[in-house]
Structure 1
Amino acid sequence: MIVRLGEEDRMRSESVGEVLISTPRGQVLPAANVLDLTPQTGPTQIERKNQQRITRVNAEIDAGIALGEAVATVQERLPQLDVPQGFSVGFGAEVEQQAEAFSQLQVLLILGVLLVYAVMASQYESLRDPFIVMFSVPVAAIGVVLALKLTSTSFSLQAYIGVIMLAGIVVSNAILLVDYTNVLRRRDGMPLREAVVLAGRTRLRPILMTTLATVLGLVPMSLGIGEGAELQAPMARVVIGGLLTSTLVTLVLVPSVYTVFEEGFSGLRRRAARASAE
């Protein structure tokens, strides 16, 4: 039930004090006799969330500034505000949805890396070779950071999707190196270091050509050329940066790690054989 003043009394503030109220003793008195009525400013509508009163403050973000960057700026300046006791400052549903999306993408990234490792483990029938190949994934993070810094791009949801794509793309170059090295050693009986060097020289051109083709194909998107490309530009920039860095470092890192692992395991096998012979 809603109680309202008559239409003719709503424009007069004195009408509130003239409202008759009943006391516990049965008396009927004007409200002005028992209330202290003073004009104050207040909200025209009271909004609640989780049974608590809230006031929304809306703002438009300038073009070129991502939501995450704006939120980070606001969070830096919040401690400077003199927030009264009993009040708190929070972010709206859009920020909460973005945080939830980031947490979901983080799970997808972990699952993607695990699935890539599982597929390679079943293909190689080994846990060691896939582990060596996966060394190329962290290296891609260097290129991601550099690409975002050089282009002044914030780490948005599209950029996170690009990172997930990189987890499956960057391992292809390392797979070419490791797989061909194994072929040279098993098929031709080539010594370890010679096989590693020959595999790097033989696979250098295919790796560079594949990487160059992928990067050139993503350049228009990274520049925001085309309809809707501006939204996908962070993803393309992340993929380009991670792929370039991973390719250049993988050509040196993966063969080195492969050699260290193989020589280490060979030494362990020789010591185990001598121990069993004794």
Structure 2
Amino acid sequence: MNIDRVRANREGISTAQIGSEVRTAIYGAEASKFKTADDEYPIQVRYAEPYRSDIDAIVNAPLTFRDATGAVRQIPIGSVADVTYGTTYGGIKRKDVKRVITISSNVLNGFTGPDVVANIQQALKAFPTPAGYTIKMGGAQENQKETSDFLPLAGLGALALIFLILVTQFNSFSKPVIILTEVIFSVIGVMLGLAITGMNISIVMTGVGIIALAGIVVKNGILLVEFTDMLRAQGMPLREAIILAGRTRLNPVILTATAAILGLIPLAIGLNIDFYELFNSGNPHFFIGGESVVFWGPLAWTIIFGLSFATIITLVVVPVMYLLSETLKGKITGKNPDHVATLSEEVDSEEIHAASPRVLV
């Protein structure tokens, strides 16, 4: 509706009054509320269906106003406005002070969001974008991009904190590095598992699973390294200490990894049991799958693949790296790696050195 501003100003009518009258005719205005004991409902007053769908009826609707003399007058809307037909938008939406038009759609069964986004981005390359306009993906794709940008920082932060704690615990630089190599093994295991099974990578849940693995798999390395240090502190040679530590910690490492893997299997396959009906009627409504497995499945399988591969590799690679590290350290410092002085030995040696007479030549 195009308002004749000169005529409306002469009559003392504002554009807001005209717009309000048209909106009331089509959409209605709240006249009162109908209250019940539990709730209240607004009462909307508007034109009946035949009239609010008729352009002529709306244009000829009376516009009631008070003129400059204070008298109440009525004139038809058509006397201060006319109607033209065209294509436009029902409203203007903005984001970051820029006008935006949002096109959205659901994803049909048999397709995934990333696959659809990839096809859209491929089609947009051949789409002639006018000057001054930009096209970008929003919604779930935008949130996924923000999450994928944040996950590497979170992973590096987690590794830095783990490394700092291990350095303070072992008072060494090489041993935390040996332990943190398990994180690399776990990532390799995740990629191998996904490649062999043909599963799709979920940027968010797979990334969260890899970060969670960083805190899980280092536990096995800590068990091996710490127990080896304890045996060496008791006077056992380096190679024998490594062999005994691996043999002794074999069962705890395998049992803890197996328990974690078996505990994640129901989450990975979407095992569902209705315990209420199981105890009430004896029918557990047992089934596998469902909507939960779509969300939690990638996280569970990521931890399962990474933990399985890292556990097997840890039992072989960590002792070998420990042996090579201590051997190389002994060659550099000139100390025998098979001998690690205990606290009592250090104290005794200091006392003997202090008590021995000094001879000057």
Q: Deviations over 1:157-215 (max 9, x none)?
A: 2222212210110001111221222222221321x233323322332222112111111
Partner of 1:238: 302
Pick closer, same or farther for the CA change 1:96–1:178 going to 2, 3 Å. Answer: same
Matched residue, 1:193: 239
1:11 aligned partner, one-letter code = I
Aligned mates of 1:56, 1:106 — CA distance in 2: 30
Counterpart AA for 2:177: F
Distance in 2, matches of 1:243 and 1:134, equals: 14
**Against the structure 1 CA distance between its residues 53 and 133, is the aligned structure 2 distance closer, same or farther, given a 3 Å change threshold?**
same
1:104-119 matches, cutoff 5 A: 104-119=150-165
Q: What CA distance in whole angstroms lies between the structure 2 residues aligned with 1:68 and 1:164?
A: 22
Could you list the runs of 5+ residues in structure 1 that have no partner in the other structure? Answer: 16-36, 272-278
In the alignment, the residues of structure 1 paired with residue 116 and residue 218 of structure 2 have an alpha-carbon distance, to the nearest angstrom, of: 34
Q: Which residue of 2 aligns with 1:176?
A: 223
- More relative contact order, 1 or 2 (CA 8 Å, 6+ apart): 1
Q: Paired residue for 2:321?
A: 257
Change (3 A) 1:87 1:139: same
Q: Give the direction of change, closer, same or farther, for the CA distance of 1:63–1:168 in structure 2 (3 Å limit).
A: farther
Which residue identity does 2:260 align to in structure 1? T
Contact 2:220–2:311 (CA under 8 A) maintained in structure 1: yes
The aligned counterpart of 1:145 is 191
| CA deviation after TM superposition for structure 1 residue 104, in Å | 3.5
**How much does 1:131 deviate?**
1.5
Report if the CA contact (8 A) 2:205-2:299 is conserved.
Answer: yes
C-alpha displacement of 1:98: 2.9
For 1:146 and 1:61, the matched residues in 2 are separated by 29
CA deviation map 1:18-73 (0-9, x unaligned): xxxxxxxxxxxxxxxxxxx9965333333333333322111112347554454344
- Give the secondary-structure state (helix, strand or coil) at the position aligned to 1:143: helix
Report the Cα offset of residue 228 of structure 1: 6.5
**1:132 partner amino acid:** I
Q: 2:88 aligns with which of 42, 62, 87?
A: 42
Deviation at 1:122, TM superposition (A): 1.9
SS at match of 1:109: helix
Counterpart residue identity of residue 86, structure 1: G
Q: What SS does structure 1 have at the residue aligned with 2:175? A: helix
Q: Which residue of 1 aligns with 2:341?
A: none
2:174 is the counterpart of 1:128: yes
CA contact (8 A) 2:144 2:203 kept: no
Offset, 1:85:
3.2
Partners in 2 of 1:261 and 1:97 — Cα distance?
A: 44
Counterpart pick for 1:91 among 121, 134, 137: 137
User: CA 1:186 to 1:69, structure 2 compared with 1: closer, same or farther past 3 Å?
Assistant: farther
Q: Which has the larger radius of gyration?
A: 2
Equivalent-residue separation in structure 2 for 1:203 and 1:101 (angstroms): 38
Query: SS state of the match for residue 99, structure 2?
Result: strand
The letter for the 1-side match of 2:55 is M
- Alignment of 1:209 with 2:273, yes or no, is no
The amino acid of 1:234's aligned partner reads P
CA distance in 2, matches of 1:110, 1:64: 35
* Identity score, percent: 31
- Identify the residue that residue 247 of structure 1 maps to in structure 2: 311
Higher helix proportion, which one? 1
Show the counterpart of 1:218. 264
Quickly say closer, same or farther: Cα 1:94–1:138, change in 2 above 3 A.
same
TM norm structure 1? 0.76
- 1:266 is matched with which residue? 330
